[in-house]
């Protein structure tokens, strides 16, 4: 398992510390779920050392019986043609492609913040609520909720750090950093719609890359969707692998 894949799975596992979230380890895969259909709901870490011809059919059957969340994430290379046909037949469709990217953090040129801007760790409850609101609006699927308190519950984890860029004291861009085994993953990279394409996310990510370099982190990873891929490529991230999120669609979708 490469570092991009492993860090992603650690990201899901970190939420087992949240009171309302349940982490289940089954033979050949893991599940993270909340009882009220709020985020996170995902089947992940499909173990290809398990019989590959049985694992995905098993997951498909469990989703069909409503035993587990309706979504799972799988590296593209794990899927055969037989698997994709099976998933399609059972109403599981690909809803998102994520590109696993990485970079070795190096010190960039000195970062100049725009006027009336500051970058700081998100520790205050008001800041965490603002971050949760951004995630809810810009990141989470419409059919899922995202509790304000979930970020407060994970902020004490030593592996987690949340950082935001404020313009005139309003949070406009933010992200979560998960550092494990000297590798950092960037998650929930979100910017307010009205502040996009103004360089705020670029400034924030470069600031964080500088920090991580100073901390001695050897690799930074993230997972880009179609809309964000160009930005991350410009920042120096290199695509290494791809992940597909499948979801069982309910009637009428």
Domains with residue ranges and CATH for the chain: 3-100+244-248 (no CATH), 103-240 (3.40.630.30)
For the whole prediction, is pTM greater than 0.75? Answer: yes
At residue 11, the pLDDT reads 96
Cβ contacts of 185-189, under 8 Å, gap ≥ 24: 185/4, 185/7, 185/8, 185/10, 185/11, 185/220, 185/221, 185/222, 186/220, 186/221, 186/222, 187/11, 187/222, 187/223, 188/131, 188/135, 188/139, 189/222, 189/228
Q: Provide the pLDDT for residue 77.
A: 87
Residue from 106, 91, 133, 137 nearest 250 by CA: 91
CA distances from 96 to 92, 93, 145, 224, 242 (A): 12, 9, 18, 10, 10
The tokens for 44 are 């992940």
**Mapping DSSP to helix (H, G, I), strand (E, B) and coil, where does residue 112 land?**
coil
Each residue's pLDDT, cut to its tens digit, for the chain (253 residues) gives 699 999 999 999 999 888 889 999 988 899 999 988 789 999 999 987 666 678 888 898 889 888 899 999 999 988 888 888 889 998 999 999 999 999 999 876 678 898 999 999 999 999 999 999 999 998 888 778 898 889 999 999 999 999 999 999 999 999 999 999 999 999 999 999 999 999 999 999 999 999 999 999 999 999 999 889 999 999 999 999 999 999 998 644 4
Determine the pLDDT at residue 50. 67
Q: Which two tokens stand for residue 49?
A: 């050392």
pLDDT of residue 251: 46
- pLDDT score of 151: 94
> What per-residue confidence (pLDDT) applies to 52?
61
């Amino acid at each position: 398992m490469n570092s991009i894949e492993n860090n992603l799975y650690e990201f899901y596992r970190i939420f087992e510390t949240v009171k309302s979230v349940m982490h289940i380890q089954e033979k050949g895969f893991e599940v993270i779920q909340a009882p009220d259909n709020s985020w996170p709901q995902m089947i992940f870490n499909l173990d290809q050392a398990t019989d590959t011809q049985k694992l995905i059919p098993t997951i498909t059957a469990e989703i069909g019986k409503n035993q587990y969340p309706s979504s799972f994430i799988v590296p593209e290379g794990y899927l055969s043609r037989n698997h994709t046909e099976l998933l399609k037949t059972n109403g599981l469709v690909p809803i998102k492609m994520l590109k696993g990217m990485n970079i070795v953090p190096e010190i960039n040129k000195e970062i100049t913040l725009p006027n009336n801007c500051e970058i700081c760790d998100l520790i205050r409850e008001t800041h965490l609520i603002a971050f949760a609101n951004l995630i809810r609006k810009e990141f989470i699927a419409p059919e899922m909720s995202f509790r304000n308190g979930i970020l407060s519950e994970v902020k004490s984890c030593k592996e987690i750090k949340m950082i935001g860029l404020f313009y005139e004291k309003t949070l406009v861009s933010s992200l979560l950093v998960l550092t494990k085994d000297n590798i950092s993953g960037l998650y929930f990279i979100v910017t307010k719609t009205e502040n996009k394409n103004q360089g705020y996310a670029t400034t924030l990510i470069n600031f964080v890359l500088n920090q991580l370099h100073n901390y001695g982190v050897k690799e930074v990873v993230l997972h880009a969707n179609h809309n964000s891929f160009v930005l991350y490529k410009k920042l120096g991230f290199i695509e290494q692998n791809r992940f597909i999120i499948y979801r069982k669609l309910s009637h009428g979708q």
